[in-house]
Structure 1
Amino acid sequence: MTAAARLTAHSLADLKPLRQALAEAAAQQAAREHERRERERRLQAERNLFATSVGAVRPLKGQDARLWHAPEPPEPLPVQRQLDEERVLRESISDEFDVTTLLDVDDQLSFRRTGVGLDVTRKLRSGAWSIQRQLDLHGLRTDEAREALGEFVRLAHRTGLRCVRIVHGKGLGSPGRTPVLKGRVQRWLVQKKEVLAFVQARPLDGGAGALVVLLQPGRRKN
């Protein structure tokens, strides 16, 4: 029972505060009722939010109402990617490729790709391009040397290098004292699209035991 309900009028003078108390009690009751209805309205609106947003929906007939999504495949392991790159390198340069018809007939058997002028090999031979990196293949087996050369050329081109040296050796320590890798290196380089030209190195750069290679222009990566 509210405080207003407990008030009792003993005279006409008592009616005014009684009416005032009753009015305040009614106003409080109305406010509480309004607040209750507002809470119910918000709750109902939250329950109907999805239906209001997407509209009416109906379950699919003859099918499971649940929709299953296949899980996304995991990212490939870096190890596998490296193995794949090595396989591509092995397949991209062959030992059976005939290079003799592509070499310039001179005492050094230089190479220049179609469209490359003789001035390019002359400049290479004279040292007009500074050697930026080198790869030494001494001590490597044939398959190791092939993969090392393929990766070296690819990375050199990717990082924007233009002129590199490949040291294949003069074959002084090989059976018959013949250069085992020299012909193979020439054959491999001709098959690499990144290679524009190559010549035998100058004596001070390795002479008959090395090649100076000019690469296609590439975009340097920081």
Structure 2
Amino acid sequence: MTKTVRSLADLKPLARELAASRAAAELERERRAAAQRLADQERRVFELTVGPVTPLRRVDRVLHDLAQPSPEPRQREADERAVLLQALSDDIDIDTLLDTDETLSFRRDGISVEVVRKLRRGHWALQGQLDLHGLRRDAAREALSLFIHDSARRGLRCVRVVHGKGHGSPGREPVLKGRVRRWLVQKNEVLAFVQARGSDGGAGALIVLLTGTA
């Protein structure tokens, strides 16, 4: 609203208002200048401390929510692992379970002799192998159990297990050879096994037939 000046007396209040307005504006300018000087000083101190700084180029981006990974059934896997290991005994007597041929082959009830002959002749292609060389008894038992279980779960039909001929063992006796046979006959996934042919490892390996092939 514009004031009407009627006399010189009316100019005094107006002059005071103008002076107060100018003083307030000047005070605001000084406040902003002081803030800028402080910011410049802090920036110089930072540069002297860490060296020259190049501002990063600002890039507009969209942040997406990351999908949470599926929970891993670790407890169930641990339970299955424990069951697999507990199921294999070193004390089982397998002499009556092995066929009394030159290689002491094995076939489960219901598996014909012809299946064993085919297995020995290499009728089924090898689809997997486990080498137990250098493993101690417990480690070998665990590795064999998990290998047979996993191979059957993946649908493998014929695999080879290398237990060695014992040339590097004390007394040159094959430490794992008998144990591997004992462990295999206890695995429900195993239908039959025979000693490997010479080209496949001979007396140091077994060819194992898994469920679903006979």
Report the TM-score range of the alignment, normalised by the length of the smaller protein.
0.5 to 0.7
Partner of 1:194: 189
Q: How far does the alpha carbon of each residue in 1:143-172 deviate from its partner, in whole angstroms, 9 at most, with x for none?
A: 111111111111111111110000000000
Q: How far does the alpha carbon of each residue in 1:8-44 deviate from its partner, in whole angstroms, 9 at most, with x for none?
A: xxxxxxxxxxxxxxxxxxxxxxxxxxxxxxxxxxxxx
Q: How far does the alpha carbon of each residue in 1:166-209 deviate from its partner, in whole angstroms, 9 at most, with x for none?
A: 00000000000010001000000000011000000000000000
Partner of 1:174: 169
Instruction: State yes or no: 1:184 paired with 2:179.
Output: yes
Partner of 2:153: 158
Percent sequence identity over matched residues?
A: 65
Structure 2 counterpart of 1:127, from 98, 118, 122:
122
Partner of 2:200: 205
Q: Take 1:168 and 1:98, find their aligned partners in 2: how far apart are those partners?
A: 19
Q: Take 1:131 and 1:77, find their aligned partners in 2: how far apart are those partners?
A: 31
Which runs of no fewer than 5 residues in structure 2 stay unpaired?
1-69
Partner of 1:81: 76
Q: How does 1:1-150 map to 2 (within 5 A)?
A: 78-150=73-145
The DSSP-based 3-state class of the residue aligned with 2:126 is: coil
Q: Take 1:149 and 1:170, find their aligned partners in 2: how far apart are those partners?
A: 17
Q: Take 2:71 and 2:174, find their aligned partners in 1: how far apart are those partners?
A: 41
The DSSP-based 3-state class of the residue aligned with 1:101 is: coil
User: Displacement of 1:100 after TM fit?
Assistant: 0.8
Partner of 2:47: none
TM-score, normalising length from structure 1?
0.62
Which runs of no fewer than 5 residues in structure 1 stay unpaired?
1-74
The DSSP-based 3-state class of the residue aligned with 2:93 is: coil
Q: Take 2:140 and 2:77, find their aligned partners in 1: how far apart are those partners?
A: 17
Partner of 1:34: none
Q: How far does the alpha carbon of each residue in 1:53-110 deviate from its partner, in whole angstroms, 9 at most, with x for none?
A: xxxxxxxxxxxxxxxxxxxxxx996443333222111111111111111000011000
Q: Take 2:119 and 2:173, find their aligned partners in 1: how far apart are those partners?
A: 25
Q: Take 2:72 and 2:123, find their aligned partners in 1: how far apart are those partners?
A: 43
The DSSP-based 3-state class of the residue aligned with 1:214 is: strand
Q: Take 2:140 and 2:83, find their aligned partners in 1: how far apart are those partners?
A: 15
User: Displacement of 1:217 after TM fit?
Assistant: 1.3
Q: Take 1:80 and 1:206, find their aligned partners in 2: how far apart are those partners?
A: 38
Q: Take 1:182 and 1:152, find their aligned partners in 2: how far apart are those partners?
A: 17
